[in-house]
Amino acid sequence: MPVTRWAWKLVTIAAVYIFLYVLLGALVAWRDPAVRDFYAGTEMPSFATIVSLQFVRALIWVAVPVIRMMRAPGGRPPPPSVSCSLC
């Protein structure tokens, strides 16, 4: 598979990850009064900072298992226990 196709897949997966991260953070975390109280006195980073950090994080979470699968002996993916241990 060409590198550009891999790059588009990684970017798309990262975008989906960010969407789910923000959605679940809004739906789950901010509905809990204990979470709101915990963050009440702190200064939160900007939304752009959060998105950029989560984008890098998503690329790492996706790229590491893909690289491990590509480097597996015989072209086979590693056993699921190896791939899941990276998560």
pLDDT at 10: 82
pLDDT for res 49: 93
pLDDT in tens, 17-55: 899 988 988 888 888 888 888 888 888 889 899 889 988
Give residue 85's pLDDT: 47
Mean pLDDT of the 58-79 span: 70
Task: Give CA–CA dist 18/42, Å, rounded.
Answer: 22
Question: Could you give the dihedral angle defined by the CA atoms of residues 37, 42, 43 and 46, in that order, rounded to the nearest 10 degrees?
Answer: -50
Give the CA dihedral 12, 55, 83, 74, nearest 10 degrees: 60
pLDDT of residue 48: 92
Residue 64 has pLDDT above 90, yes or no: no
Range of the domain at 47: 3-85
- The CB density around residue 47, as the number of other CB atoms within 10 Å, is 9
Domains: count for the chain:
1
